[in-house]
Amino acid sequence: MLHWVHMIVTIDTGGTKTLVSSFSTRGKISESVKFPTPLDPHEYVKQLKEVVRAHYQPEDVQVIVVAIPGVIDNGIVKWCGNLPWVNVDLGKKLKDLLPGVPLFIENDAKLGALGETRSLPTLPVSSLYVTISTGIGGGLVVDGKLDHGLRFSEIGHIPLEFDGKVCIWESFASGHAIVATYKQFARDIKSKRVWRQIADRMSRGFLVVIPTIQPDIIIIGGSVGTYFERYGEYLRDALIEHLPAHIACPKIVQAQHPEEAVIYGCYYYGKDYLTDKKARG
């Protein structure tokens, strides 16, 4: 049982595992607890309550932030990409996770965007975070805050023409698509020719998003983001070649915390809530 006072509890729910962590309000992270994410949302709620209540007391926690890999509307999980959850009122089911402690539920990629943007040495006006893993997700951060005008956006589901047919971006540029096409995981691909092809696939979605949003910086995370040095230059070249002359290619960087971006985003989300609450008196 942890005994920090004024903790922020962060929960990163993934398609295969759930990571429960906590931060002091000064940003110090504790040890994490992992458990396999159940496919049944009722079982997920049961296991999450068991884990959280075993490690935290309500009087020590100020806020809980839960990340979910899907479309969230007022605590309702409308749809998940890698979990069979449809119209699950998770906000209601988790309301008493720790009785009396405020709880927020947000899309994981958008929280990853917040975590990575706030970790930059200089805060940009706008940043686009794109996570490329099993699928593709992303979020836009403006002036250090999530852009809630795009709260339902699913960047990986942009329809594009590729290989003679219209299909969504992640169907041909995600980690799953890489394995399906090249019969190798990204970590095992060393061929420059193959990485140039993968960069071309990635560029198709960015060529739609960049003129639309025109972010100051693009941050690439996720498991494929880990290998940014293998394709980053090819991706920049493809974007510069095909973007209209009057639209500059944004700075493109690798995520600083590819595996922890979401829990850091949960922390910053919770911290902002506490700061706003204090300002309101």
Residue 83 C-beta-side C-alpha neighbours within 13 Å: 27
Q: Which of 22, 25, 45 is CA-nearest to residue 33?
A: 22
Domain 120-254 part of CATH 3.40.50.740: no
pLDDT by residue (tens digit) across 223-261? 899 999 999 999 999 999 999 999 999 999 999 987 788
Q: 263 CB contacts (<8 Å, ≥6 apart)?
A: 10, 12, 19, 21, 29, 32, 67, 115
Residue 206 CA to residue 248 CA, distance in Å, equals 13
Residue whose entry in the numeric block shows the structure tokens 């686009």? 128
Alpha carbons 116 and 42: distance in angstroms, whole number: 31
Judged against a pLDDT cut of 60, whether residue 2 lies above it is answered with no
Share of the chain above pLDDT 70, in %: 98
Q: Looking at the predicted structure, is the pLDDT value of residue 3 above 60?
A: no
Beta-strand relationship, 136-142 and 217-221: unpaired
Least confident of 3-7, 25-29, 180-184, 194-198: 3-7
Q: Give 29's DSSP letter.
A: B
Greater confidence (63 vs 4) lies with 63
Nearest residue to 118 via CA among 249, 220, 267: 267
Q: Where in the chain is the domain with CATH 3.30.420.40?
A: 7-108+259-280, 120-254
pTM: 0.89
Instruction: Name the band, by pLDDT with cuts 50, 70 and 90, for residue 61.
Output: very high
Sign of the four-CA dihedral 94, 97, 99, 100? negative
> First-to-last CA distance in the chain?
31
Task: Yes or no: say if 250 and 210 are a contact pair by the CB < 8 Å rule.
Answer: yes
CATH classification code of 7-108+259-280: 3.30.420.40
Cα 162 to Cα 131, 157, 175: the distances in Å are: 20, 13, 17
